[in-house]
Structure 1
Amino acid sequence: MRTRVPPLISNGKAVMFPLKTFRPHATSRGSSSWKSMLFRLIEDHQVDEANRLFARIPSPSIQLYTMMINGYSRINRVDQAFRLFDKMPARDTAAWNSMIKTALGIGELDLAWKLFDEMPEQNVISWTTMINGLSQFDQIDAAEDLFLRMPERDTAAWNAMISAYCDSGRVKDACRLFEKMPQPNVISWTALIGGHDQNGQSDRALWLFYQLWMSGMKLTPSTYACVLTACANASELGLGTQLHSNLVRRGYSSDSFVSTSLVNLYAKCKQIEDSIKVFNEKQERDVVSWTALVTGYGMNDMHDNALEEFNKMVAFGIQPNQSTFSSALNSCCGLEALDRGKKIHVTTVKLGLDLDVFVGNSLIVMYSKCGDIDDSLVLFNSMDRRNLVTWNTIIVGCAQNGYTSLALKIFDAMRELNVQPDSITYTGLLTACSHSKMLGRGRHIFHLLQHDSEVAMKLEHFVCMVDILGRCGQLEEAEELIQNMPMEPNTIIWLALLSACRMHANIEVARRTSKKVFEMEPDNSAAYVLLSNIYASAGRWNDVSQIRLMMRCRGIMKVPGSSWITLKETRHEFVCGDRSHPMAMEIYAKLDWLGVKLKELGYVYDTRFALHDVDDEQKEVALAHHSEKLAVAFGLISTVEGSTIRVIKNLRVCGDCHSAIKLISKLVGRRIVLRDSTRFHHFRDGLCSCGDCW
């Protein structure tokens, strides 16, 4: 008795294509003729026309049924594929295998298992399809068990298991299996090379390629593409260019995957002109190669070019995929271009990709990094499917935007759903606690991390904990934590402590800490500047002069503070006392007006942040013309009343400017978002999202 599999409701939408006129004149054709016509229509994606033809076929064969099922599956009309499968008068193994593949394609692993178990007879393709499916769902142990239970194995089955091991990071297991393999082919070698490269072992991947090359086995374009990617990741430009020449001679350079890998190679090795040349030489441009170019521009900080190329691609009629959107949105982050990011968001909605997990994660990152955390939260809440990256992205976004309590609540919800955190999760949580000076909760998170057997502690976790202790005034404890770490400290962790010394005016710990930094990096400009500022805040001008003299002798330059606003895709940048802007007269007039109004609200300049040995009046003049204030004044006169002003600063925001901008937000009734070198500050109604903890 035949088992009935109920039809499914498709989550996808039918892809519509223009239909060609096709009218068979007879119904008494041979099976090969029907097969040929069906095949042509399905290959042209004219599945509806193929179905009309199929309905005219008297007693269609099992093979024709299977062709139609595959046609529906390819355009994600899964419900119709299952209905057709259910109507089949008899089913062969190929039909069952097709339905298993269809179930896996829509993410229904349980249904795929059900079909596999109910098959009258499984062949090696059935087993291999399930192994690939289990790998797709990260169930590697189950895939391994299935592989070991296979009654017979062909090369494709061995290759599927090698790929499964590599995809899950179990490269050693993949190597052991490869060594046991009776007859590895070029696909086996390619899977192993790619597996090493994907898991951070690019040098080993290139060594394996050398072994393959010496074996004399004929290489495929896929192998070359894989090796070129390894060259890019290992920064082996020389080998990559040699392979490029070889590929041209063999006629492989026009292959889509090869040309895309070449674009990626040159971009990663900072040879973007060569990437453009390879791309322009490609006769048929597809989404993969165009995405590689958009990504390559982003890698080289040419974000305007990346977005221009993205727009060209859309205008050319090529539909972006998840990776394209991710790269374009990343360039929006690089430009702090929220408006352009919103336009791309609209495009994802039109294409029905806005709720795709990969695209959704990229959108959350874009909104968070552009200071619009509220829209990030809306997106997060609207996503039907979330993965660990989704949870990490929103937690880190909340941490950077001062939504510490919400970050911790999201973590609690994540644990309730049994989502295992990773090292990024803990880094985000500790950063949130640091930005809000939540010492108790920070200790608790750090304790959870220490006892989480699934996550290895990294140096960045200790940096965050030192930052928490330092901000909360526990400088000696922070210093002791550094000295007792299981790994060697670097300059970053000592600089975190030195920054805390400035915050708490602790000169003794600052001296010890700066000494550690100078032992590691004698020319570290950040340490000199921090130490100089600590002395300046304490009024020790002789020590300040000595530090500045040392910097001049060593040729160390202090990075000048600057702030900027981007309006209508144009960046307006300011430095302290800057009068070069075309609207300088209006900007300074606005600053004078603000100065009067702020004093009426009780504002007094905090001269501790004027780090020069001059009289108080000169200090006030310098503070009044800090780059942050200039940018805010420009924003007030250049944007619509009531709109949000967004300012970026390359250094930590000045304490006096922080106090002033809080009052300005109340005075003018505007929301002001300022991103400095460590976090976002959301000023509204005289308050800041950081709670004055930064």
Structure 2
Amino acid sequence: MFDEMRHRNVVSWTTLISAQTRSGNPDMSIRSFAQMLNDGSTEPNRYTYSAALKSCSMVGNLQLGKQIHGHVLKNSNLQSDVVLMNTIIDMYVKCGSLSEARRVFDEFSLANSTSWNTIISGYFREGNALEAENLFHNFPIPDAISYNAMIAGFAEIGSSKALGYVYLMHSRGIKLDHYTLPCALKTCGNFKFEKMGKQIHSYIIKCGSVSSCFIGSSLIDMYSNCSQINDAVKLYDEFLGHKTCFSNKLPLLNSMISGFVTNGYNIHALNLILEVHSSGTQLDHFTFSSALQLCSNLQCMRIGRQVHGLVIISGFQIDHIVGSNLVGLYSRCGNLVDALRLFQDLPQKDIIAWTELITGCLLQGSNELVFYLFRELIRLKINLDDFVVSSILKACSVISWVHGGKQVHAYIVKGGFESESITVTSLIDMYSKCGDIDDGFRVFECAAKKDTVCWTGIIAGCGNNGKATEALKLFQEMIKAKVEPNEITFLSVLSACRHAGLVEEACRIFKSMQDSSGVKPRVEHRHCLIDILCRAGLFNEAKQLISEMSNKLDENKQNSLLSDWLIHQNSEIGKVDLFQSISCDASSYVALSNAYASKGLWDVSAKCREISRRVHIKNAGKSWLQIRTQ
């Protein structure tokens, strides 16, 4: 109809260009605008310019956007149009020219809340959270959108500051809405702030927002990321009771599947995926990503190939997130050839895809390929993250290549990664495993923030390099610095005591685990202390520990403990009453029999064999099939 019009006025042109923009055809809208300018018979108005600018924002056409801005500057009336000027600021932001956006913003005397919010979001988009925060605090009267911009920005970069702005927003009487709550819950989940997550959940119930599938999905994600899988399942079941179309609950299903996978409930995740698929619900890229991650966890290529087939049928093989997970599945399951082929076919090779391939190669021991991929990343000038750098350092640790590790260290300093906790810990681990603990200690000393993982890394490094005294000293400094040790920290310092034969120190540290730090000793901690006690000839104390933990051990660990006790025993060991009371498994008595035999105590060894036969459990050295056929 438009082509048949003889007299095309500004209204008809504007209607056409706006309709094309709204329908998702920005290229066509831009062509129509250019045709209008070439026609020369009609002067665009503010609505025409706004529609064309929105199309420029959608396709990133900065050149045309600047031309339109130039036309606007020639008309003083247009320069005072708030909506049009905000559209220009938004165009510059979305076209990646934040400096131009800021210049227009600073020169615009009629800037309103939309102007402020657009430029604040622009700084977050560029990664400059500091300037975004400065702008916010200069904002005369921030509104709900302003707070949401801050909360979403900090949530996106994984900063706990998002929750600070949630609290500030609430304290100033601004209602938390459907934009605020998911970002707040995401941050709670990322930092495992379960208590605050539950407070936000209570707020959601009071406000009546719990019926929203989007909010429900965020709640399930939060509880799952806080390792509260039972609460997540309970919430999921409640949502299933709502009278909502099953297909509309796909976000809930995806969150529950992801929660199962994240917490290691792989069979539960598999059953739920099968349930969703059999219901005829169309799966999306979130479902497929979780399904592929599940197959990676299970190391099951049979199911993985079936999921891969569904991905192809559904047309998601071109999705870069799903494609990256496919690369991860094949590489982690040892099929590097297919992983490389899938990687090459990816239309978009972002850092996620590179990370999946590098991680898979590392797990398969293909360290040379890891280094090759690292060089390719540098050659292609792809921005690396701390996780990739840490993976490269781990490869250096595996093959004890300190020279390569130092080259990566130099890259870390140049790239500004030295402040990241995971990078610092990986550097310490690399230097200690390469036998260069002094450089590892220097990295630790220079670390801006020393968290539990960082302290644990240097303590373990000192212990593994024969510096037990230094490890103990560092542990005491850690306690004085009020950094809470975890299970791995205690195991590392106990191992250091074992290497140096520091019995009193080990007993004191073991006692302080639960008394002072509230860390419950695990089998590994007790096993380590038993070994220390046996080496020092304190067999009664060792036997007491074995008795206390016998009901918590599986067969292999119990046998290992019994053998350790006997190997270090050098006094009366002819009595088996203790061991009769803690085990009735044949393999335990076989382990005892072998240990006694190694000491030349054949009568006790024979007694252990007799006990095994008397409890009617299979003899060692025979398969179940052999016993069944006797």
Total equivalences in the alignment: 516
Aligned to 2:512: 448
Verify the 8 A CA contact 1:473 1:500 in the aligned structure 2. Answer: no
Aligned counterparts of 2:574 and 2:122: Cα–Cα separation in 1: 71
Matching residue's letter, 2:90: F
Verify the 8 A CA contact 1:197 1:230 in the aligned structure 2. Answer: yes
Aligned to 1:237: 301
Verify the 8 A CA contact 2:323 2:342 in the aligned structure 1. Answer: yes
Cα deviation code 1:161-188 (max 9, x no counterpart): 2111111100000111112224572222
The 1:418/1:214 distance shift into structure 2, 3 A limit, reads farther
> Helix, strand or coil for the counterpart of 1:317?
coil
Aligned counterparts of 1:323 and 1:370: Cα–Cα separation in 2: 20
Higher-Rg member (1/2): 2
Aligned to 2:120: 69
The answer on 1:180 being equivalent to 2:234 is no
Which runs of structure 2 are paired with 1:480-491 in the superposition (5 Å)? Answer: 480-485=544-549, 486-488=551-553, 490-491=555-556
Which runs of structure 2 are paired with 1:314-329 in the superposition (5 Å)? Answer: 314-329=378-393
Verify the 8 A CA contact 1:266 1:274 in the aligned structure 2. Answer: yes
Matching residue's letter, 1:305: L
Which structure 2 residue ranges, 5 or more long, are not aligned?
A: 1-61, 601-620, 622-630
**How far is 1:295 from its partner?**
0.8
The answer on 1:54 being equivalent to 2:112 is no
> Helix, strand or coil for the counterpart of 2:179?
helix
> Helix, strand or coil for the counterpart of 2:365?
coil
Aligned to 1:350: 414
> Helix, strand or coil for the counterpart of 2:283?
coil
Return the structure number with greater relative CO, CA threshold 8 A, min gap 6: 1
Cα deviation code 1:518-559 (max 9, x no counterpart): 9649999xx99x999989xxxxxxxxxxxxxxxxxx9xxxxx
Matching residue's letter, 2:99: D
Aligned to 2:216: 158
Aligned counterparts of 1:284 and 1:523: Cα–Cα separation in 2: 58
Q: 1:228 aligns with which of 292, 298, 308?
A: 292
TM-score if structure 1 supplies the norm length? 0.67
Aligned to 2:3: none
Matching residue's letter, 2:227: G
The 1:248/1:37 distance shift into structure 2, 3 A limit, reads farther
Aligned counterparts of 2:579 and 2:345: Cα–Cα separation in 1: 53
Aligned counterparts of 1:521 and 1:50: Cα–Cα separation in 2: 74
> Helix, strand or coil for the counterpart of 1:402?
coil
Which runs of structure 2 are paired with 1:52-201 in the superposition (5 Å)? Answer: 52-57=103-108, 59-88=110-139, 90-102=141-153, 105=157, 106-108=159-161, 109-110=163-164, 112-150=166-204, 151-153=207-209, 154-181=212-239, 182=242, 183=244, 185-201=249-265
Q: 1:287 aligns with which of 339, 351, 357?
A: 351
Aligned counterparts of 1:429 and 1:324: Cα–Cα separation in 2: 29
The 1:508/1:353 distance shift into structure 2, 3 A limit, reads same
Structure having the higher helix fraction is: 2
The 1:495/1:511 distance shift into structure 2, 3 A limit, reads farther
Aligned counterparts of 1:141 and 1:121: Cα–Cα separation in 2: 20
**How far is 1:35 from its partner?**
4.4
Which runs of structure 2 are paired with 1:277-316 in the superposition (5 Å)? Answer: 277-316=341-380
> Helix, strand or coil for the counterpart of 2:104?
helix
**How far is 1:409 from its partner?**
3.0
Q: 1:428 aligns with which of 460, 472, 492?
A: 492
The 1:224/1:531 distance shift into structure 2, 3 A limit, reads farther
Matching residue's letter, 1:293: L
Verify the 8 A CA contact 1:505 1:534 in the aligned structure 2. Answer: no
Aligned counterparts of 1:170 and 1:189: Cα–Cα separation in 2: 17
Structure having the higher strand fraction is: 1
The 1:144/1:450 distance shift into structure 2, 3 A limit, reads closer
Aligned to 2:607: none
Aligned to 2:456: 392
Cα deviation code 1:436-491 (max 9, x no counterpart): 11111211222233557853432212221122112222345435533442323544
The 1:200/1:103 distance shift into structure 2, 3 A limit, reads closer
Aligned counterparts of 1:84 and 1:271: Cα–Cα separation in 2: 50
Aligned counterparts of 1:418 and 1:177: Cα–Cα separation in 2: 37
Aligned residues with identical type, % of pairs:
24
Aligned to 1:204: 268
**How far is 1:83 from its partner?**
3.7
Aligned counterparts of 2:359 and 2:590: Cα–Cα separation in 1: 34
